[in-house]
Chains A and B, each alone.
Chain A
Amino acid sequence: MAMLRKETHFEIHHLNEPKLLKVITLDEFIEQGLAVCAGSAEFCDLLLWLPNEERLRSPHLLSLPVGGFLIPEPLIGDFDSARLHLHTPKDSDVVQPGDVIAITPGNPLVRVLYRRGSDSNLLFMTDRCNSLCLMCSQPPKDIDDRWHIEENLRLIDLMDRVEENLGISGGEPTLYRDGLLEILAKCKAVLPQKSIHVLSNGRLFQDPSWIAALSAIGHPQLSWGIPLYADNAEDHDHVVQAPGAFSETLQGLYNLARANQIIEIRVVLNRLTTPRLPELAHYVFRNLPFVRHVALMGIESTGLARKNYEELWIDPLDYQEPLSQAVYFLFNRGVPVSIYNLPLCLIPAHLSRFARQSISDWKNLFIDTCQQCAAVKHCSGFFKSHTDRWQSRGVQRLSTEAFSAYARSAQ
């Protein structure tokens, strides 16, 4: 099972300016026209999916009033037109009808900003961040990349109008406060059927002026994923490499609660966070009883995590006990809890009911050992950044009997 990347190369002709384009089939164009987009769109925003065969059969299609054409294979024959067109993708699976792509003149790179049918689309806000977590999978850049806001506002218009999950993340999304609020307002107006989940360290919410702004959004399905790595300032601040972060995050959490926001606490499981994981669960329950969900996440071994290996790496087999204690502490008290990003062979059977298949389709992969495993369809697999150094000694294929033990304990 290969993971699907979010970008590939095409040969691009007659592109004069950067564009965001919605890929649609001829049938869609005929049946729905611009209604295939959730928001306001024009014909020039559409990129018609046009295999060679269709074009050669019906050359008049080239005069359709679309923004351009996408040939999802090497070009056959001549393209008799000075209109924008793309052909010969390096990986032909990457771009599909319904996707929204971004292209720039002089660059063969085609980025998929929205993938139809994927439940892990996200609006990327910025590469900047005000923390520097030891395990940061996306090291921050100190640049002005406000242009993401405009791109996202445009992107919202071009998405499908369907019920699905949409994430907002970065870097730290709250660094562009007005842009974020504008995007959330637009999501409510244009994509009210989508569940929005924003990943943020919550630190800037310590400023109470956010409360009114957040309450005013009134989004029907908005939730916030905020990391908390310890029940005390010393340990948390060390993990995020920012003195005062614990206090700011807690203040931020209370302000989010005052603004009636739905809050999820996220914890990345590593050598620094697992020793006091049960104590952290206790702290969350006593001090943040309004939390709707706790997500306990296997570590992604990319970015800054690599250079902090000694501090961070712990074999998941070695934290099964605190993990179990924390999970059942929360579950027994009615707090929904999930385990993400850990292969099923590394989770004891009695915890498998909490495991979710969670690695985004564009990030996950399975290794050789997985080929004969009975659990592979239910397993989140590994991050594509996975290496031997970060591999548990416990990775193994599960037999059918072993896997049915998991299924039974999920009752």
Chain B
Amino acid sequence: MAKPFRPSIVTANRLNDGAVVYLAPDGSWTEAAAFAALARTTDEQAGLEARAAQAVSANIVVDAVAVEAEDSDRRQPLSLRERIRLVGPTVRPDLARAPSGR
């Protein structure tokens, strides 16, 4: 049985500095998952992935991928790996990024 679809956002690393970024609704890339475009259907996710692929081709980001996220204002990724990517190493709170990207 196919896995039920879960809302997702698209994340990548920015090419020039490697920073973790998220695809925003206007096609720009933001460091704040909260400002990411949320896909609530497979079609919406495919649309985001297509836009991300364009950004990869345009050498703006690398390793773009859709990841499951909360359907909330925070858009927080669900997996531990992605939550760590969002805020930074858990062992260095002094280097942590706020989920808002600041």
Indicate, yes or no, whether A interacts with B: no
Q: B: which residues have CB within 8 A of A?
A: none
